[in-house]
A and B are shown apart, each in its own frame.
Chain A
């Protein structure tokens, strides 16, 4: 392969190198204990989706260019160049990975395959092989950040429409969706859909919260794409907004990766301390219920309810109990999926895979474990935070005729609140 390209690609590994990555490269025993942890490998049986195999592709380059033993005896490690063959396979294994880190949970050395694949994505991008769809979505978000005035009027009139709906639900003509409110305590950064704003607004208003809505979305396609610079710029949009408005706390929506990006990654990307508290909306809702700031009634939700832990807020974010406590506050008929919490199966819809049509077949096949779990639970209602999880599970629901109602947790909460207005329709 040409030496210019080679220097560029090995340069990416060099730039991304840190102690953990080095150890991951050096210590994997290729024991394949991670094999049955990955829903994609289990669902498809395709070797390229075996977690250690995905990492092995990066290890092959590492061995050849970053270790003496691999340089002298490459055959011992099957060390090789990042040529077209390698990059082809790498593309599939890196962009299909949902970043659930279930493989890491079961690995005896906690090897973070998803992290290794973030390096893989950086290599692919440097080779001009990044996923186009994710790249475009990321660029569009950055464009919006750079040209915020252009979108201002559309956004505000959108919020006004939603405000009307909120008033109908609360039955309170003073319910608001505060826009650009300086001195608010909370900046709520939703997703693009009204369904992520409406129930949140009902809850904030009923709790008497001093909040304001962000002009930007918490979704971060730069993160899925694998470009930390883009990911940083997309997050920076609402960090700057929060600074301008002088809020104390940023609340992200149910979306899983949005929480992890803000809470775990942004500080390292921006190289500055995060000046705000970051909360997941379900942490806030749990607080409101427990402190009596909002009231929910049992019996308004019919049927057995279960809960799916999105990987990014569960295993990777540490939020296990608050959503369960919320669900248990609205129903007596709760059953957990098995396994659950840190062992929860990934639904198969994370990591931006729902936006990439080319992986549709893999994605649907990878839902087999989730389908088994949902069936076995006997539940008819699924409380499911995270937009990506819901898109995936709704598709599985239809495909396998599970007959489940799939709800956002905040929709369940609003449905269980004794409000004067009209009941929201479940979407």
Chain B
């Protein structure tokens, strides 16, 4: 079991970090060094003031109100998923440092309960989002439009979410953030080691598998359509400024 953890949760993390940041950097480099269209591609109406245009860009990108209007169901699942993913991302910050303020307000046990609730909600919402997307891609025009990339991403994402949820719902009561933090900080400080609580429990299988999927997902990320996460801002400019 220790070998599995070393591969997925130590060396895998390093490799993923290199591929992910290198890939995203390359992607941004490619985009920014390709000249913009000489033709004006703008769409109307546009706000008159600079502030209005900036606000519109943020609104278009984070809320996509037009998409909400034409496909409310899809939009609801997508919005909930992205929000939950953001929540999960922030929540993972506890791996590095305990949040400020909150633990003082809630106490240590209270903080763990709070994290359990928010983490569980985010975990369930993400699972629902992924299952909805998978289901949607099994029929009609959605199926015809899908390519293997779409299923691969959703499969990897499902793995990440299911194993994350597994750790939360099965081991959430016994293993808390502090234990994972010891492991994660050891990786970040290049002195990788696993705390004994992890090695002595079956949670190591879940963690290893969560990390396996996360590594693969994040390594593929920069080479997939998920670069929409950074590209959406500049592609949406046509609505507000260009």
Residues of A within 8 A of B (CB): 17-24, 26-33, 35-37, 47, 50, 52-53, 56, 67-69, 75-78, 101, 104-112, 115, 264-265, 268-269, 271, 314-318, 320, 341-343
Q: Are A342 and B231 in contact (CB under 8 A)?
A: no
Residues A78 and B43 in contact, CB atoms below 8 Å apart: no
From residue A399, how far is it (CB to closest CB) to chain B in Å? 27
Count of A-B residue pairs with CB < 8 Å: 146
Does B101 lie at the interface of the complex (its beta carbon under 8 Å from any beta carbon of A)? no
Assess whether A316 is in contact with B228, with CB atoms less than 8 Å apart: no
16 example contacts (A-B, Cβ-Cβ < 8 A) are as follows A20-B238, A23-B234, A23-B235, A27-B232, A28-B228, A31-B74, A32-B145, A33-B71, A76-B149, A77-B147, A78-B148, A106-B69, A109-B231, A109-B232, A268-B37, A268-B40
Q: Does B170 contact A (CB under 8 A)?
A: no
B190, CB-defined interface residue at 8 Å: no
Q: Please determine whether A315 and B37 come into contact, CB atoms closer than 8 angstroms.
A: no
Report yes or no: A19 in contact with B36, Cβ–Cβ below 8 A.
yes
Partner of B238 from A52, A106, A112 at Cβ < 8 Å: A112
Residue pair B142, A27 in contact (C-beta under 8 Å): no
Interface assignment of B46: CB less than 8 Å from any CB of chain A? yes
> For residue B115, which residues in chain A have a CB less than 8 angstroms away from its CB?
none
Indicate if B39 sits at the interface (CB-CB under 8 A): yes
Q: Cα distance A32–B140 when bound, in Å?
A: 11
**Which residue from chain B places its CB closest to the CB of A101 in the assembled complex?**
B43
Closest to A24 in B: B235
Which B residues lie at the A interface, using CB under 8 A? 27, 30-32, 34-46, 60, 64, 66-67, 69-71, 74-75, 78, 141-142, 144-150, 152, 223-225, 227-228, 231-232, 234-236, 238-239
Q: Are B147 and A76 in contact (CB under 8 A)?
A: yes
Chain A nearest Cβ from B183, distance in angstroms: 31
Contacts of B40 in A (CB 8 A): 264-265, 268
Shortest CB-to-CB span from A369 to chain B, Å, is 13
- What B residues does A69 contact at CB under 8 A? 223-224
Q: Which residue of A lies closest to B36 (CB)?
A: A19
**For the complex, what is the distance from the CA of A224 to the CA of B241, rounded to whole Å?**
26
Quick check: A110 and B231 within 8 Å, CB to CB?
no
Instruction: Please name all residues of chain A whose beta carbon is closer than 8 Å to the beta carbon of B225 when the two chains form the complex.
Output: 26-30
User: Chain A at the B interface: mostly helix, strand, loop or mixed?
Assistant: helix
The residue that A110 contacts in the complex, of B34, B43, B69, B75, with Cβ under 8 A, is B43
B123 to chain A, nearest CB (A): 22
- B227–A26 contact, CB under 8 A? yes
Partner of B67, one of A108, A264, A314: A108
* Closest B residue by C-beta to A111: B235
Q: Tell me if B147 and A264 are in contact (CB < 8 A).
A: no
Q: How far is the CA of A76 from the CA of B60 in the complex (A)?
A: 30
Neighbour of B148 across the interface among A17, A75, A104, A111, CB < 8 A: A75
| Complex Cα gap A19–B39 (Å) | 12
Contacting pair A106 B43 (CB below 8 A) = no
- Interface hub of A27, A33, A36 (most chain B Cβ within 10 A): A27
What is the CA–CA distance of A20 and B71 in the complex, to the nearest angstrom? Answer: 25
* Pair A52/B31 contact, Cβ less than 8 Å: no
B37 x A316 contact (CB < 8 A): no
In the complex, which residues of chain B have a beta carbon less than 8 angstroms from the beta carbon of A56? Answer: 145, 147
